[in-house]
Structure 1
Amino acid sequence: MRGESAVSTETFRVDGHEVHEHVVTVPLDHTGTTPGTIEVFAREFVRRGGESRPRLIWFQGGPGNRANRPDSVGGWLDRALEEYRVVLLDQRGTGRSTPADRQTLAGMAEPASYLSHFRADAIVEDAEALRVSLGEEKWSVLGQSFGGFIATAYLSRHPGSLREVVITAGLPALTGPADDVYALTYAQTARRNADLGRAFPWLPGTIADVARHLGDTEELLPTGERLSARRFLQIGIKLGAASGFAAMPYLLEDPFVSVRGERRLRDRFLAEVGGVVSFAGNPLYAVLHETIYAQGSASHGATRWAAQRVRDRLPAFDASASAPLLTGEHIYPWQFDEDPALVPLKDAAEALAAKEDFGRLYDPATLAENTVPVAAAVYQDDMFVPRQLSLQTAAGIRGLRPLITNEYQHDGIRVDGRNLLDRLLRLLRG
């Protein structure tokens, strides 16, 4: 069932562009089984002279990340505005779309049941409600990373609402357990660790030194909790982005200081590490991460902390290893004991990890008969969305035109967005 409420809109200007802020009320549960409503927010950019252009909706990576808040127009957005009005959607639970976090969920009787309605299928229905409210017959889609997962679900559920679809670093596996995804992402994360050691030969030794120190010495993050060695290794999420990889030696260049003859970690280092490993700004990313791979009992049932299960078979990623590897885009149950932003959400996360009956997100039969023009960038060395599974999905979507390249890491749309989007639009129409 779609939300039928009229959209409420306010308008202002940013960097010479007219900006419309839309709010639409939608059902919490689009199937109508669970009562309640939420608000969904989107910010639309319109270039002068582009008022009559068709709309393109942007699906942000995630899950659990709000849409961009641009204070100037550049990169992919600048290129998109040459042809479209661009709608930046705050996916439900993020930004101004009825936020879901430790504060707003406090005191809720069944937060896991509530959050079970925050996956890609529901986001697609939210987008549909917004499209209808805006009076747009069909619109185009651009999805990055998890946003590509949403775009693929959109193609499965409402292909008739789509003019064209562009996906960057976000073709999901259509079937199979989360374990299969994580086995591939750990392998690629190990390769990125090796790349890091070749580029900066001193870094693996520093990482091992800090991990040993944290095993023996209590070091507190600015938020007050002890930093464990295993949590420190999560700075490896930066390896998946070209900019993050290049910044790693700056983060680790001088971590220690002598305090009255005692070796300690610098406050600056602890603050920077804390900024990387904390989920205070996007707690839903941690809570919902494995649910994006859950496809119900027909596809291996509950995820049950698949990232931890796979990691347990890979001793090189153990914090006690002599030269431990940094981890990547992996969420673990112990984070809900160690991260203050996640501690209140532990029970909800455990319940979601045990949930057996999530619905299917994608329809392979519909995708096999697809008639919507689709172009997708697949990165050979993507650390977060495995190339092997993306290529299988690309072959399963009729008419999809892939751009397979080793030019980018996962953040290609951020570092070279104008050029990348231009290439994909030309491929789409070529």
Structure 2
Amino acid sequence: MKMAPVIARLVSKSKPYLVPGKLLVKELWFEVPLNHSKPEGQTIKLFARSAIKYERPIVESTEVAQRPYLLFLQGGPGFGTPAPQDSTLSRHMLDRGYELLLLDQRGTGFSSPISANTLARIGGPQEQADYLKLFRADTLVKDSEAVRLCLTKDFPPEKKKWSTFGQSFGGMMTMTYLSFAPQGLRECFITGGLASLDKGPEEVYQVTYQRTIERNKAYYSKFPQDVKAIKDIAEKIQELGGEKGVPLPAGGLLTVRRLMTLGLHFGMDGGIDAVHNYIIRMSADLDQFGVFTRATLNALEQDGGWDVAPIYTLLHEPCWCYGPGVAGRWAAERVGQGIEEYQWLQNSWSGPSSLGDRPLFFSGEMIYPFHFETCSELIKMKGTAHILANYDGWPSLYDIEQLGKNEVPVYAASYNDMYVDAGLARVTASRIKGIKVFETNVLLHSALRAKPDEVFRELLALRDDTLY
């Protein structure tokens, strides 16, 4: 299935300006079809920044250097790209002659962002769900290809292709790109994103819950005192909030279940310590005042970005719906309810006192229906979320046959990953012809930000060296 060659329209381009780090940056706005199968229909706007390494020449030249583009595919889904001066790619890739393009994916950053009030303009829950069906990786890749065709239309043939760098969800996008538009790609880098090509949400969560349990055990091994502290906090939440939960400053609700989602941090560098810091803080509040302070409640409400990046919750399970006939149907909740360590997901759970000496286990990168009952912004999208959860008409995300005959060089890093299981990643890599993988059990999912020197050293060695 080859994609139609829709070309984005460049709406505006700013004059280049300097930012710290000796970067020359431009701001670009594009217009693309909302639905690429209807190119003459409604359009939406996309925002991007490009960056090159600024060099002040001894002799000024009027010639414009056409550097090959490197497109950054952001993780998530649902989060915008960083500013060029905040991107590790600026520090590690621009010296190699690329022009970095940081494109906010549709619905994120400045690119037609999704929120409760912008969705309300679309219509009711069904109209909103139909709109959001056009915000998955298959459409994001079409947007990217349309932007490439726009930016390189006057380039010589050898410079029209671009390189991509996909982190996490961006790695999943990369494999969609390789499946359906490989003609636009010169080379691809993937970090922490070799997700399964043909396992649905239930199968994926059965594996990632086990990785999350391992991280919980590491947490309690480091902070054994938190076994009691967390159960005490959970009981206080139930006491103060009753059946509904403790009110949060922006309108959300703190429940035991929502507290348990702090385990999302466990897959990141420093994540175990970040959760422990919350427990110290909450315990201190209760010890000194018997209630949680506003500052603590505000920090908990902002944690995870649930209300400011709704695509992450609305379209998370659909990321794993690899083709027609596959629906999420709240797979994370259904799978978790059958795991001993996650009794708190069961409606019949009687509370922390039922656990005896056993600890409460945090969840990981899982989305649950209660997110749409406890997060102030997501509460407004509850109906939409349920429609998307039960939808099974998703287009295919991958073409395994095409990946098996891939000719685009691919360089990947696979980690000791709570979110993208290393075993599943190994299977995926075996199905992509020509891929080179650096695999390690001493880096976590956030290594691109936390330990970039190690990541880029290994990736670029794969690119520049030979195995034979």
TM category, shorter: over 0.9
Cα displacement (A) at 1:352: 0.9
In the alignment, is the contact (CA less than 8 A) between 2:50 and 2:99 conserved in 1?
A: yes
How many pairs align? 426
C-alpha distance after superposition, 1:269-293 (max 9, x if no partner): 3222222155122111111111111
Cα 1:161/1:208, change in 2 over 3 Å = same
- Cα separation, 2, equivalents of 1:144 and 1:260: 41
Q: Which residue of 1 aligns with 2:456?
A: 421
From 185, 196, 206, the equivalent of 1:183 is: 206
In the alignment, is the contact (CA less than 8 A) between 1:77 and 1:418 conserved in 2?
A: no
Unaligned 5+ runs, structure 2: 56-63, 153-158, 345-350
Cα displacement (A) at 1:209: 1.7
- Which amino acid is 2:408 matched to? V
Cα displacement (A) at 1:6: 3.4
- Cα separation, 2, equivalents of 1:278 and 1:416: 23
Cα displacement (A) at 1:261: 9.2
From 66, 69, 91, the equivalent of 1:78 is: 91
Which runs of structure 2 are paired with 1:23-422 in the superposition (5 Å)? 23-32=29-38, 35-49=41-55, 51-70=65-84, 72=85, 75-83=88-96, 84-109=98-123, 110-135=127-152, 137-218=160-241, 219-256=246-283, 263-297=290-324, 300-319=325-344, 320-321=351-352, 322=355, 323-379=359-415, 381-422=416-457
User: Secondary structure of the residue that 1:6 maps to in structure 2?
Assistant: strand
C-alpha distance after superposition, 1:396-427 (max 9, x if no partner): 00010111101211101001123312320221
- Cα separation, 1, equivalents of 2:308 and 2:251: 17
Cα 1:259/1:143, change in 2 over 3 Å = closer
User: Secondary structure of the residue that 1:414 maps to in structure 2?
Assistant: helix
C-alpha distance after superposition, 1:260-314 (max 9, x if no partner): 99722233332222221551221111111111111233xx521111111111112
- Which amino acid is 1:374 matched to? V
- Which stretch shows the higher mean deviation, 163-172 or 15-24? 15-24
Cα displacement (A) at 1:428: 2.2
From 10, 35, 50, the equivalent of 1:6 is: 10
Cα displacement (A) at 1:244: 2.1
Tell me the percent identity: 34
In the alignment, is the contact (CA less than 8 A) between 1:62 and 1:285 conserved in 2?
A: yes
Moved over 6 A (4+): 258-262
- Cα separation, 2, equivalents of 1:231 and 1:257: 20
- Cα separation, 2, equivalents of 1:261 and 1:385: 41
- Cα separation, 2, equivalents of 1:259 and 1:167: 44
CA RMSD of aligned residues (A): 2.0
Cα 1:137/1:274, change in 2 over 3 Å = same
User: Secondary structure of the residue that 2:235 maps to in structure 1?
Assistant: helix
Cα 1:35/1:406, change in 2 over 3 Å = same
Cα displacement (A) at 1:388: 1.5
Cα 1:356/1:163, change in 2 over 3 Å = same
User: Secondary structure of the residue that 2:315 maps to in structure 1?
Assistant: helix
- Which amino acid is 2:418 matched to? M
Larger radius of gyration: 2
- Cα separation, 2, equivalents of 1:48 and 1:282: 33
Normalising by structure 2, what TM-score? Answer: 0.87
Cα displacement (A) at 1:163: 0.8
Unaligned 5+ runs, structure 1: none
Cα displacement (A) at 1:241: 0.3
Cα 1:420/1:262, change in 2 over 3 Å = closer
In the alignment, is the contact (CA less than 8 A) between 1:75 and 1:418 conserved in 2?
A: no
- Which amino acid is 2:137 matched to? A
- Which amino acid is 1:79 matched to? H
User: Secondary structure of the residue that 2:49 maps to in structure 1?
Assistant: strand
- Cα separation, 2, equivalents of 1:215 and 1:305: 25
- Which amino acid is 2:184 matched to? S
In the alignment, is the contact (CA less than 8 A) between 2:71 and 2:101 conserved in 1?
A: yes
C-alpha distance after superposition, 1:212-237 (max 9, x if no partner): 22122223222233311001111111
Cα displacement (A) at 1:257: 5.4
User: Secondary structure of the residue that 1:163 maps to in structure 2?
Assistant: strand
Cα 1:246/1:261, change in 2 over 3 Å = closer
- Cα separation, 1, equivalents of 2:287 and 2:174: 56
